[in-house]
Amino acid sequence: MTTPPNTGPRAKALSLGALLLSAGLAACTASPEPDGHPPDEALIAATSAIELDTAEELADAVFLFKRSTLGAFTVATDPNERGETLIYPESVGVLAEDDLFEEIFGIGDEAFEAERDRQFGLGRAPLPPLPLPTPSQRIQTGELGGVDSTSCRSCHFTGGPDGAGTATQVGLFRGDGRRLSSATVREAPHVMGLGYITLMARQIDREIQHRVFLGTFFAENDGVPSEVNLNIDGIDFGRVTISPEGDIDTSQIIGISPDLVVRPFGFKGRHRDLVHLTDEALQLHHGLQSAARAEVYADQAATYLGDNEDSFDRDGDGIQSDASGGQSVLLASYLSMLAVPNVRPPEDPRLAFVWARGRAVFDEVDCGSCHRPSTRLTGELVVTHEAIGATDLTVSIDLREFGQDPRPSNLDFGQLGDDENILVGVPIYPFTDLRRHDMGPELAEPGPEILPDGGGEIPGEVWLTRSLWGLADTAPYLHDGRAPTVHDAIVWHGGEGAESRDAYLALDGEDQAALRVFLLSLTRAPTVLVD
């Protein structure tokens, strides 16, 4: 299947930018330079050697640079512009109803990069008197957060747009606001391909729910307990036992919460969807408290919102309802349409052989038992986002049509009988099983992480398998960024990862290097940026 051309806002920028660039190049070749000398022959040769795709990408980058520069200037001179991407649910709903997902992506892109300030809810009490700005607070206070950044982009840019954070941009979560030792350290991961990770998680959920439904049916009809195996497409989540009365014993499940919901986001598997993830991030990182969050945690305001008496301004920043219930849906929609990372083997033939050997070593040391290389998404690639609380907003996005390039598009067919084909699914390569694993004392934290939505608490030594796609562009590694290199990250593995770690350390130097060459081919499509 041929991937259709991208018609998103970045593609629109590309077409206009290419027009501007081509006009500029034509002027360069047809006219003398301002000082009267003929144009530089080397420049003409260089520009004529640029391939069409490269020229278009360069034109797109120039256009986006000019747009960003203009936007920054506008924001600097007109503070009211800083709130233009704080959107209402009705606005997102109208755009979604008309299938204007390119516009949703564009607005979401701007919201992701937008710099917030005190006028639009940045921060929480106590605040200095106006007109002093919101002070930063790198070490967050419990579930109330910081402020440790003014935009999403400030910690998600390394390796390209929507990338990871650097070693100095770790998040210091759920501390006492003062002591570094009190905080939970988290590295800022890249956010590419999250829509497809969502689809993978929901696909596993559906199969689990289907098996539990059948087990409940048989237990009730047979009058005896029914044991249900939860090995889903080679990923072992243990088993449950269902009584004739419909009670579910989850004591034998592994790698998943007792509610049997896959939570693919967060290093511990904290959130089941992007809406909850972004809604929490708005408060923890920016102090932007959404109306939806204020509603959901109204009975736990002191813990999650703040103790200000005004129910519409619990964080006491002087701004009521810093963000609407649609803001997290907007950001979730944007994140879900982002492109997927890809595998780029070395172009040098000698390194290509090393890369191939590294792929074999990946299997030999059994990295794939947790970092499962691929999965197939079956059915329609439609990701759905529902607003939190009573906000009446649901957005469903067909990623086949509106996902950004590169996107998964190769359809895999199997044989059914002699003449018929059956659609097996769309393969993606995230290198994860979306399951939690005990990684031993080597990576253990002092205490458990309590999930905010009834998912229980996750012990300090237990971690969700991180997806490896995009690995090459996301150093440092592990949950707290302690590993500067891929080698260090492997060596830190313990618990369920100890056997693979030991097998890696037993390899000779060439095979270890070959594995690292393969892992560093898990990257992203090249992006042209202009600074």
- pLDDT, tens digit (0-9, with 9 covering 90-100), for 291-322: 999 999 999 999 999 999 998 899 999 998 89
How many residues belong to the chain?
531
Nearest to 531 by CA among 61, 3, 26: 61
The 10s digit of each residue's pLDDT in 479-505 is 999 999 999 999 999 999 999 999 999
Domain range for 9 is: 1-77
Tell me how far apart the alpha carbons of residues 404 and 334 are, in angstroms, rounded to a whole number: 10
**Within this chain, do residues 284 and 176 fall inside the same structural domain, yes or no?**
yes
Q: pLDDT band at residue 40, thresholds of 50, 70 and 90?
A: low
**Model pLDDT, residue 508:** 97
pLDDT above 80: residue 52: no
The 10s digit of each residue's pLDDT in 193-205 is 999 999 999 999 9
Burial class of 49 by CB neighbour count within 10 A (0 to 12, 13 to 18, 19+): exposed
Task: Name the DSSP class of 265.
Answer: B
Q: pLDDT band at residue 413, thresholds of 50, 70 and 90?
A: low
**Within this chain, do residues 178 and 110 fall inside the same structural domain, yes or no?**
yes
% of the chain with per-residue pLDDT over 70: 85
Domain-embedded: residue 442: no
Tell me how far apart the alpha carbons of residues 399 and 134 are, in angstroms, rounded to a whole number: 38
- What is the pLDDT of the chain when averaged over all its residues? 88
Nearest to 155 by CA among 126, 184, 115, 211: 115
**Within this chain, do residues 506 and 383 fall inside the same structural domain, yes or no?**
no
Domain-embedded: residue 253: no
**Within this chain, do residues 307 and 400 fall inside the same structural domain, yes or no?**
yes
Average pLDDT over residues 169-174: 96
Nearest to 193 by CA among 524, 527, 513: 524
Domain-embedded: residue 125: yes
**Within this chain, do residues 295 and 384 fall inside the same structural domain, yes or no?**
yes
**Model pLDDT, residue 415:** 54
**Model pLDDT, residue 1:** 38
Tell me how far apart the alpha carbons of residues 335 and 527 are, in angstroms, rounded to a whole number: 17
Domain-embedded: residue 322: yes
Q: Which residues contact 207 (CB under 8 A, 6 or more apart)?
A: 232, 233
**Model pLDDT, residue 447:** 94
**Model pLDDT, residue 459:** 97
Domain end residue (candidates: 45, 77, 109): 77
**Within this chain, do residues 284 and 362 fall inside the same structural domain, yes or no?**
no
**Model pLDDT, residue 14:** 35
The 10s digit of each residue's pLDDT in 361-373 is 999 999 999 999 9
**Model pLDDT, residue 379:** 85
Burial class of 51 by CB neighbour count within 10 A (0 to 12, 13 to 18, 19+): exposed
Bridge-based pairing of strands 382-386 and 394-398 is: antiparallel
The 10s digit of each residue's pLDDT in 223-247 is 999 999 999 999 999 999 999 999 9
Tell me how far apart the alpha carbons of residues 184 and 285 are, in angstroms, rounded to a whole number: 14
Tell me how far apart the alpha carbons of residues 361 and 508 are, in angstroms, rounded to a whole number: 11
Domain-embedded: residue 68: yes
Average pLDDT over residues 277-281: 98
**Within this chain, do residues 504 and 401 fall inside the same structural domain, yes or no?**
no
**Within this chain, do residues 99 and 158 fall inside the same structural domain, yes or no?**
yes
With beta carbons less than 8 A apart as the criterion, state whether 293 and 283 touch: yes
**Within this chain, do residues 41 and 161 fall inside the same structural domain, yes or no?**
no
Tell me how far apart the alpha carbons of residues 478 and 460 are, in angstroms, rounded to a whole number: 14
Q: Could you tell me the sign of the dihedral formed by the alpha carbons of 322, 324, 326, 328, in that order?
A: positive
Domain-embedded: residue 197: no
Lowest mean pLDDT among 201-210, 410-419, 446-455, 488-497: 410-419
Nearest to 189 by CA among 481, 487, 483, 402: 481
Q: 335 vs 193, 356, 360, 395, 513, CA distance in Å? A: 8, 32, 33, 13, 34
Backbone torsion region of residue 164, taken as left when φ is above 0, otherwise alpha when ψ lies between -120 and 50, otherwise beta: beta
**Within this chain, do residues 293 and 383 fall inside the same structural domain, yes or no?**
yes
More confident position, 12 or 60: 60
**Model pLDDT, residue 92:** 97
With beta carbons less than 8 A apart as the criterion, state whether 457 and 449 touch: yes
E strand or H helix that includes residue 67: helix 52-77
Domain-embedded: residue 213: no
Burial class of 416 by CB neighbour count within 10 A (0 to 12, 13 to 18, 19+): exposed
pLDDT above 70: residue 180: yes
**Model pLDDT, residue 56:** 79
Omega of the bond leading into 452 within 30 degrees of 0 (cis): no
Lowest mean pLDDT among 149-163, 208-222, 270-284: 149-163
Task: Name the DSSP class of 128.
Answer: P
Domain end residue (candidates: 77, 107, 128): 77
For residue 440, the one-letter residue type is G
Bridge-based pairing of strands 457-458 and 449-450 is: antiparallel
Q: pLDDT band at residue 44, thresholds of 50, 70 and 90?
A: low
Q: Could you tell me the sign of the dihedral formed by the alpha carbons of 438, 443, 449, 454, in that order?
A: negative
**Within this chain, do residues 298 and 354 fall inside the same structural domain, yes or no?**
no
Task: Name the DSSP class of 49.
Answer: T
398 forms beta bridges with: 382
Domain-embedded: residue 154: yes
Number of domains in the chain: 3
